Structure 1
Amino acid sequence: MRARTQLRLGRHHAAGSLLRSLPDEEAPMQLRWAAIEAALLGVQAALASGAPDRAARLLDEALRAAEPTGVRFPFVFGPPELIAFLTSRLGGLGAGERFAGEILAVRRRLRTPPMPAPLTERERSVLRLLPTQRSIDEIAQDLTVSPNTVKTHVRGIYTKLDVRSRREAVAIARERGLLDAEVADFSV
């Protein structure tokens, strides 16, 4: 629980440290999926910390632990970044490949919310201009489209990033690597 809280607060390193200390603790895991869920939290912390190799190792570990027991719960209801990482690793999971396919099939059957739709090229063009604090009219002039077209693209960006403001959109886009470093630092 403490690791999940740290992860949600954006304290990825603290979450990772808590998870690495779990094997040292005396208290046994009460739920059979707790160790699997801990490994998946470790995957999320590793991804957020920019450690994809560690994330891959932890994902493989979680799949190996879950398959014999048939524990699908922590995977099926995992957050989008975890499912995206699992999906990106398909074809390279070895023995865990079949189980990963089952997990994704269960998600589809349960109609678990789909991965967010990718931004269109035009939405990415508008997104690159959001950190500049230019007005909708100025962005429209830059892209040689109407202000209403820019507003439509901004609404699409907000929906796909699940945000409600320009500031949130820029923050989430930076966090997800959707903005180039030089563009993200360009604030007028």
Structure 2
Amino acid sequence: MVDVSWRTLYATWIRFFMGNRLAPYHGTPEKTMRQILNIASVKRGDHFIDLGCGDGRFLIEAAKKGAKATGYELNPEIAELARNNVKASSYAESITIHEKDLRDADLSDGSVVVLYLSESGNIKLLPLLNKYLSSKPSARIVTLVFPIKTYTPIRTELTDEGVPIMLFNGESLPKDLKM
């Protein structure tokens, strides 16, 4: 697995604090990834979408469970890191990475969407997430740390470190958005 340089990490935090990113880069611990995949019941036949896929490790873990995996990453350096990590895995044929803004992500084919963004990043994605869950109420969205404002989680679990993992589906939507 290829790792991120300190310069890249520093740059992502600076861009985040300047207000032009939905979250700084911060890789999800492996144990937490496995816990999220279990909470979301990721299985063969699922289409797993990681909004802000970082180094691509989450995509590889989802592919190991038999899911098709798609990642979106805006930072070109980190997207390249993800592509290299995916190529080095034996799951490259099941994984696609798009280098683009998360707000332009195509969720229409997804069954599971994962976000590890900032609170403000989750808010900026609300129009996309509302459209997604309104059209696919059985789909699952999982967030780490920050909830999705106006949504009610159907399940919340804590990591060993006490960090909340929240699961949402069509039942989580505010009443005015439910079909």
Taking structure 2 as the reference length, what is the TM-score of the superposition?
A: 0.29
| Larger RCO of the pair (alpha carbons < 8 Å, separation 6+) | 2
Larger Rg: 1
Q: Return the structure number with greater strand share.
A: 2
Q: Return the structure number with greater helix share.
A: 1
Taking structure 1 as the reference length, what is the TM-score of the superposition?
A: 0.28
